[in-house]
A = this chain, B = another copy of it.
Amino acid sequence: MKKILSIAMALSTLLTVAQSDEEVLKTIYTQSLTNGKSYDWLNHLSNQIGSRLSGSLGAEKAVAYTKEELETLGLDKVWLQPVMVPRWVRGAKEYAFIESERGKTSTVNICALGGSVATPSLGLKAPIVEVKNFQELEALGTENIEGKIVFFNRPMQADLIITFEAYGGCVNQRYSGAVEAAKYGAVGVIVRSMNLRQDDLPHTGSMTYGDLPVEKRIPSAAISTNDANLLSTMLTLKKDIKFYFKQNCKQLKDVLSYNVIGQITGSEFPDEYMIVGGHLDSWDLGDGSHDDGAGVVQSMDVLRLLKESGIKPKRSIRVVLFMNEENGLRGGKKYAEEAIKKNENHIFALESDAGGFTPRGFSFDCSDAAFDQVLSWESLFKPYLIHYFEKGGSGADVGPLKSETNVLAGLRPDSQRYFDHHHASNDTFDAINKRELELGAATMTSLVYLFDKYGVNPINASKEIKK
């Protein structure tokens, strides 16, 4: 008996050696770089389908296409999860100009913010006043703002290395600018685009009216960084210039849409769920290649790469393609709601929603114990130049799954170019590099493999070893 046991142990050691984590990661990366599907999928999503704003035909086509593609992968289950989503439409191309004196105008590039109301059908012309933040707005007060358009012009901070931090420092102007300005009787809002580059492209994005009654809602638009600079300079030279803009966007009734889900059922712990995902919807100006077509196809490829690399997960691995991250987060909320309703134990969730650029690592929302476990894997990732492992946020769609014991994570690609494209007409397929996209998919797959193999924290892991 002793002899058999030691043979068995030797054999198991041998098998472990034959499939070391180093070797498995090497297989995963090689598969992705030489036999990846993410780039082809994204080519179709971006160039055949195009933009995918919630409730649009593009979003509907993307649901059908990704479900169909997942069905070819030999997963254990592929299904659609119904969810009602808001539907906002941009309407005709927006038009705007600065009027420095009667008859003397400069056309500028704007786009309506997602969720904004329209201007009157002939447009809106009013004096414009520049502020950098809500404190300046308050200091000006009703007497200086009433009847005017407010121009929020606080730029993204260039000296922050992670550009998402610069975005975080500015985005309240876009999201809450209208509701704040309306308090003081403003008639419209123009917001500097969330873009670190000086160029001519306006960047859209979501905004809120909070609980403002319909009749008090004022139209809100983004202006390109070049034109924001122009407007600011003109305001320095001449305080009483006017701004004109015209947009006929509209919020329609909610419509039925879907999260797209595929699953490999776990061989040992089928009731422990690990999910990987991105969001299927995109803004309407570009084709949503980086935000978040990249995350969608990378997540799809995680399940394919696991299979291609001969990995049979112990836990149930799901790819979830969320609908409506951009203007409502209904998909993410619905998925978490259903998971709770069905008492599904989600031990891990990873989102890719920061662009398809070279991956640098992950951000983790988890316990210290789970994070220590992650750090113990750092050297496995070193050959792939993956070095960023920090505690922090994860992703908007997976956020609602947060529990005290699970691990939420977000892929962190190089962020330098991201806001050049974010929510703008140049978020298109030509800005995607195939290898960078594939490295991201491999990096995600590797993390999923490790968490599936070792469980979610040292306590779980040691339990497993003991049994």
**Chain A residues near B (Cβ < 8 Å):** 29-30, 33-34, 158-159, 161-163, 196-197, 358, 360, 383-385, 387-388, 414, 416-417, 420, 433-436, 439
Whether the pair B385, A161 counts as a contact (CB closer than 8 A) is yes
CB closest chain-B residue, reference A32: B159
Q: What distance in Å separates the Cβ of A158 from its nearest Cβ neighbour in chain B?
A: 5
Q: Which residues of B contact A433 (CB under 8 A)?
A: 416-417, 420
Point out the residues of chain B lying under 8 angstroms from A384, CB to CB.
161
Report the separation of the CA atoms of residues A197 and B433 in the bound assembly, to the nearest whole angstrom.
Answer: 9
Which of B385, B416, B434, B436 contacts A439, CB < 8 Å? B416
Residues on B with beta carbons closer than 8 Å to the beta carbon of A383: 161
Given contacts A161-B385, A417-B435, 19 further A-B contacts (CB under 8 A): A29-B159, A29-B161, A30-B159, A33-B158, A34-B158, A161-B383, A161-B384, A162-B385, A197-B434, A360-B385, A385-B388, A387-B387, A387-B388, A416-B433, A416-B435, A416-B436, A416-B439, A417-B433, A417-B436
Contacts of A416 in B (CB 8 A): 358, 433, 435-436, 439
Interface-centre pick from A29, A159, A360 (highest chain B CB count, 10 A): A159
- Residues of chain B within 8 A of A388, CB atoms compared: 385, 387
CB < 8 Å: which of B387, B417, B435 contacts A196? B435
Distance, CA A305 to CA B162, complexed state (A): 21
- Within the complex, the shortest CB–CB distance from A326 to chain B, in Å, comes to 24
Question: In the assembly, what is the distance between CA of A33 and CA of B165, in Å?
Answer: 15
Give A430 Cβ to nearest chain B Cβ, in Å.
11
Complex Cα–Cα for A353 and B433 (A): 21
Taking the closest CB of chain B, its distance from the CB of A193, in whole angstroms, is 16
Once the chains are docked, how many angstroms separate the CA of A358 from the CA of B416?
8
A29 contact set on B, CB distance < 8 A:
159, 161
Least CB distance from A54 to B in Å reads 31
Across-interface contacts of A385 in B (CB, < 8 A): 161-162, 360, 387-388
CB-CB < 8 A to A360: which residues of B?
385
The chain B residue with its CB closest to the CB of A161 is: B384
* Min distance, Cβ A289 to any Cβ of chain B, angstroms: 15
Q: In the docked arrangement, what's the CA distance between A454 and B197, Å?
A: 37
Q: How far is the CB of A268 from chain B (nearest CB, A)?
A: 31
- Give chain B residues whose Cβ lies under 8 Å from the Cβ of A161: 29, 383-385, 439
Q: Which residues of B contact A162 (CB under 8 A)?
A: 385
Determine the distance from Cα of A33 to Cα of B388 in the docked complex, in whole angstroms: 22
Cα distance A393–B360 in the bound complex, in angstroms: 23
- Among A384, A435, A439, find the residue whose CB has the most chain B CB atoms closer than 10 A: A435
| Separation of A358 and B163 alpha carbons in the complex (Å) | 13
A-B contact pairs, 6 of them (CB 8 A): A196-B435, A358-B416, A385-B388, A416-B439, A417-B433, A417-B435
With A385-B360, A385-B388, A416-B358 known to touch, is A435 a contact of B158 (CB < 8 Å)? yes
Minimum Cβ distance to chain B for residue A207 (Å)? 26
Q: In the complex the two chains form, what is the Cα distance from A431 to B254 in whole Å?
A: 41
- Of all chain B residues, the one with the shortest Cβ separation from A197 is B434
- Whole-angstrom distance between the alpha carbons of A97 and B69 in the complex? 39
Taking CB as reference atom, which chain B residue is nearest A383?
Answer: B161
Cβ-closest chain B residue relative to A417: B433
Tell me how far the C-beta of A461 lies from the nearest C-beta in chain B, rounded to whole angstroms: 27
Shortest distance in angstroms between A467's beta carbon and chain B's nearest beta carbon? 37
A34 with B435: CB separation less than 8 A: no
Contact B434 A34 (CB under 8 A): no
Known: A29-B161, A388-B385, A433-B420. Is A358-B197 also a contact (CB below 8 A)? no
Q: Which 8 residue pairs across A and B have the least CB separation, nearest first?
A: A387-B387, A30-B159, A416-B435, A33-B159, A33-B158, A416-B436, A358-B414, A34-B158
Provide the residues of chain B in CB contact with A34, threshold 8 Å. Answer: 158-159
